[in-house]
Chain A
Amino acid sequence: MNRITTLYSSTIGKKFIAAVTGLILFGFLIGHVAGNLKVFTGTTDAGVPHVDEYGQFLKVAGEPFLPEMAGLWIARLVLLGSVVLHIVVVVQLAFRNLEARPVGYVRSKKAASTLAALWMMFSGTLIAVFIVFHLLHFTVGALPIGEFQHGAVYKNLYSSFSNPLIALGYVFVMGVLGFHLYHGVWSLFQTLGIDNPDRNKALRIFAIVATIGIVVGFSMVPLSFMAGALPAPVDYDPALLGH
């Protein structure tokens, strides 16, 4: 156990936790963006939007082994735990880094650092604030933005993103997320000791492609609603969702 505690107290150990939780959250983003794209696939014959069906599927995922909502809550707790750990270790490291250089430079010129890497704490903070906002907006429905009806994903999206301010705000945050991923997705492999000169180029390209895919995929939803490229929602019998 002693080894584990020294590992946790070391900067490499904390970075290891940041990398593993970052990888979990990156995996979640890929699933999230894939689910969002169901907005574009239309409705079933009965008139239920595919994205609403997908939302219902998440609620009953794991049935019959798990009761309704259990699978979803397990996933939520894993994600929440990852976010909290990710933030805790990174903030601890940030304080340590401030102490590591008590007197700064009068002149400082970067030879290699990218803005994405230098601004990880800013982009991360903004993303953390956004996560709270986003959950209140589309999961809880507690914000006075558009109409909100539990389970009616397509209708909620349409209602909120018809407002260009909200849609553009979401697109802006996705740009910031892209900044975070551009550095983070590669950085985690280096931290885990998986990167080496043979794979470096492949991992860098992977990080860039994944970042572009995630940012474009997420942004297309609010932009399409804002531009009026998607049809208005049609009311349907909620009983149709479960079947």
Chain B
Amino acid sequence: MKIHLHIWRQESPDKKGRMESYDLDGVEPDMSFLEMMDVLNEKLTGEGQSPVAFDHDCREGVCGACSMVINGQAHGPKATTTTCQLYMRHFKDGAEIYIEPFRSGAFPVLRDLMVDRSAFDRIIQAGGYISNHSGPKPDPNSIPIEPAVQESSLDAASCIGCGACVAACPNGSAMLFTSAKVSHLGMLPQGQPERFERVASMVDQMEEEGFGSCRNYAECEAQCPKGISIAFIGRMNADYLKSKLIEPVDGRGKMHAQ
């Protein structure tokens, strides 16, 4: 099949970028989207042009490295699918395909389609951990967990941190990512000791990174390659408000009756 590509080219973070068009012939329907990009890059290299830089790693939908906005949607037109799991058979012969980087002030473009997603790492560092003893290994299943809670926590933990939620959100908000990371620990018994401290630190870090605000479009949920629910955003809102309005700062102070 033959396709017409329009790709964002930008040499470095401080250079101005632009859309460039490429025609690509001989594309097999069974190629993955990234394999098609490989073919394009071989062609460009052969012609003496610089290849298109893009992020990729596992190419099996679990690492969260691939990060393209394809025809206006993060990871392309197919729901709950990463770019690497998208195949050329999902496009028509002769299709016009627009490829852009994830757009966010907090994700500066490094080159072409590669963006710097370190902001997510800093959010994780702010509170995405639990405290655990390093002594003898406890008995398996020694902490009872309600199956529904465990499943829901695993749903949140399926977030691969790709940043599609930020790219998809009309406001460039990172609420879905942060809420998934806050919830998958905060819902489990092991995550209780830091539960409110965690949500406060991670949200405060998210704010500092300059992401936009949530307007409950649910666009993130629709474009998330793992289909993570905005129910976690509601849950994080409740926990964050509790951490700022209800949880005691000084739990040990003396009090007076009159």
Contact = CB atoms under 8 A, between A and B. Distances in A.
A193 B100 contact: no
Contacts of B235: 193, 196
A183 B231 CA distance: 16
Nearest to A9: B207
A10 B207 contact: yes
Contacts of B221: 112
A138 B245 CA distance: 40
B214 A11 contact: yes
A14 B98 CA distance: 36
Contacts of B8: 106
A213 B112 CA distance: 51
A-side binding surface: helix, strand, loop or mixed?
helix
A7 interface: yes
B100 A105 contact: yes
B125 interface: no
B83 interface: no
B256 interface: no
Interface string B201-230: 001100100111111111101110000011
B5 to A, nearest CB: 12
A111 B213 contact: no
B170 interface: yes
Contact of B237 (A93, A101, A112, A191): A191
Contacts of B6: 106
Interface residues of B, number: 53
Contacts, number: 142
A104 interface: yes
A7 B244 contact: yes
B84 interface: no
Nearest to B218: A112
Given A111-B222, A117-B216, A190-B230, A99 B210 contact: yes
A10 B203 contact: yes
A105 B223 CA distance: 15
Interface string A102-115: 11111111111110
A19 to B, nearest CB: 9
A155 B214 CA distance: 45
A117 B215 contact: yes
A183 B217 CA distance: 9
A52 interface: no
B19 interface: yes
Given A97-B171, A103-B103, A105-B103, A113 B233 contact: no
A148 interface: no
Contacts of B204: 6, 10
A4 B218 CA distance: 28
28 contacts: A4-B244, A11-B173, A11-B213, A12-B203, A12-B236, A97-B212, A99-B210, A99-B212, A100-B211, A102-B105, A103-B103, A105-B100, A106-B19, A107-B71, A107-B100, A109-B71, A109-B77, A111-B168, A111-B222, A112-B218, A112-B223, A118-B217, A183-B216, A187-B216, A192-B238, A193-B235, A193-B237, A194-B234
Closest 4 CB pairs of A and B: A193-B238, A100-B212, A109-B72, A100-B172
